[in-house]
């Protein structure tokens, strides 16, 4: 029998549709859907609860919090915002925010410019030495010299106790570079050939063709770099010693590890000073996390589209 006639038979088509419907509405599919929903709800609770706990603990009554310290779904009343008032009067909070925003703004300019230039070079099909240079760049993603040679290099450049040590050391990420390169390689070659015929150079081709066509991927790169700069603390703690030059995350780390200076609250007694110090730690975590929590959802809608575009061609 001719297979084309079988495929064209309306009875066979009806059977296939019914089978597909049964697969989606059968007991196995329903059990899987219920299990999947419950699993995702569990992951959501595990992810959100620590942030919720820190938030409600920061505004809880310190005495009630110390008396009943455990699983909390609601704050301990009466509410108090004294910890936030003390945090905003902390001497290193303003300097920490200033240094972090400086690293974020200047660092993002370096990140996006260098990543775009490097990705454009690696996406060129007929560029001399493209493959060996690309191999060297990819090699750095798996192997690095280590912290000691990096520290000696920064010291030799005279960048110790400078924000430039943190900006330059994180100026480009190889993983982000490869994602953007793949997005550039997904652009039809006919567009670049047409631009070349019209007399456009590499800079004009990059700025007027490649960058506008990969806005979603660029938004993802911006998100990756911004979160990385905001959460970075290791290199800053190694290269910077001046308290007024420390970024916000290093200030937060010192506050959590060393605690708040309780001498300023000596009039409250040992117990009162300890309770206020603990509330200040919670409040400091919320204050330092809130900006990136506001930024992340605004760029989240570009995440899936940008990464998928960047992963089409490798």
Over residues 75-99, the pLDDT tens digits come to 888 888 888 888 888 888 889 999 9
My answer on whether omega of the bond before 78 falls inside 30° of 0, hence cis, is yes
Handedness of CA 247, 264, 287, 252 (dihedral sign): positive
With a cut of 90, say whether residue 239 has pLDDT above it: yes
What is the per-residue pLDDT for 313? 45
Tell me the mean pLDDT in the region 273-297.
82
With a cut of 80, say whether residue 60 has pLDDT above it: yes
* Average pLDDT of every residue of the chain: 81
Distances (CA, A) of 38 to 25, 32, 226: 19, 10, 32
With a cut of 70, say whether residue 22 has pLDDT above it: no
With a cut of 90, say whether residue 277 has pLDDT above it: no
Give the rounded percent of residues in the chain with a pLDDT score beyond 90. Answer: 32
Distance from CA of residue 150 to its chain's centroid?
24
With a cut of 70, say whether residue 102 has pLDDT above it: yes
The rounded distance, in Å, linking the Cα atoms of 210 and 88 is 44
Which segments of 26-90 does DSSP mark as H helices, in order? 27-58, 62-67, 82-88
Instruction: Write phi, then psi, for 89 (nearest 5 degrees).
Output: -100, 5
What is the per-residue pLDDT for 174? 92
Least confident range from 208-217, 232-241, 251-260: namely 251-260
pLDDT confidence bin for 299, thresholds 50/70/90: low
Q: Which of 65, 2, 84, 82 is nearest to 286 (CA)?
A: 84
Pick the CATH number of 85-310 from 2.160.10.10, 1.20.80.30, 2.40.30.110, 1.10.3720.10: 1.10.3720.10
**Higher-confidence position of 163 and 9:** 163
Question: Model confidence over 159-178: pLDDT tens digits?
Answer: 999 999 999 998 999 999 99
Q: Which residues have C-beta within 8 Å of that of residue 271, sequence separation ≥ 6? A: 66
Q: Which residues have C-beta within 8 Å of that of residue 273, sequence separation ≥ 6? A: 262, 265, 266
With a cut of 70, say whether residue 292 has pLDDT above it: yes
Question: Model confidence over 178-206: pLDDT tens digits?
Answer: 999 998 998 888 888 888 888 888 999 99
Q: Which residues have C-beta within 8 Å of that of residue 311, sequence separation ≥ 6? A: 179, 182
Which segments of 186-302 does DSSP mark as H helices, in order? 189-197, 202-205, 211-213, 215-231, 234-239, 248-258, 269-300
Tell me the mean pLDDT in the region 41-69.
87
With a cut of 50, say whether residue 12 has pLDDT above it: no
What is the per-residue pLDDT for 297? 73
**pTM for this model (two decimals):** 0.77
**Higher-confidence position of 137 and 2:** 137
What is the per-residue pLDDT for 43? 93
């Amino acid at each position: 029998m001719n297979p084309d006639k079988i495929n064209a038979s309306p009875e066979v088509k009806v059977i296939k549709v019914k089978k597909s419907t049964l697969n989606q509405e059968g007991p196995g599919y329903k059990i899987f859907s219920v299990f999947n929903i419950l699993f995702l709800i569990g992951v959501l609770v595990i992810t959100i609860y620590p942030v919720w706990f820190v938030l409600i603990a920061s505004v809880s009554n310190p005495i009630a919090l110390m008396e009943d310290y455990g699983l909390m779904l609601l704050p301990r009343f009466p509410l108090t915002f004294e910890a936030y008032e003390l945090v905003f009067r902390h001497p290193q909070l303003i300097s920490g925010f200033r240094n972090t925003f400086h690293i974020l703004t200047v660092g993002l300019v370096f990140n996006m410019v260098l990543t775009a230039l490097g990705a454009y070079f690696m996406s060129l099909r007929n560029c001399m030495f493209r493959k060996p240079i690309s191999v060297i760049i990819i090699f750095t993603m798996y192997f690095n010299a280590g912290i000691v040679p990096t520290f000696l290099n920064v010291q030799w450049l005279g960048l110790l106790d400078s924000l430039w040590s943190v900006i330059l050391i994180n100026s480009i990420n190889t993983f982000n570079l490869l994602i953007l390169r793949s997005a550039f390689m997904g652009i039809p070659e006919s567009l670049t050939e047409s631009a070349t015929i019209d007399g456009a150079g590499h800079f004009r081709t990059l700025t007027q063709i490649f960058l506008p066509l990969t806005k979603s991927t660029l938004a993802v790169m911006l998100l990756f770099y911004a979160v990385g700069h905001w959460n970075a603390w290791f290199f800053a703690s190694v290269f910077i010693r001046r308290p007024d030059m420390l970024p916000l995350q290093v200030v937060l780390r010192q506050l959590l590890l060393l605690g708040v200076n309780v001498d300023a609250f000596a009039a409250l007694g040992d117990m009162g000073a300890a309770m206020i110090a603990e509330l200040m730690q919670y409040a400091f975590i919320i204050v330092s996390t809130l900006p990136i929590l506001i930024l992340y959802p605004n760029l989240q809608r570009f995440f899936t589209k940008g990464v998928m575009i960047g992963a089409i061609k490798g």
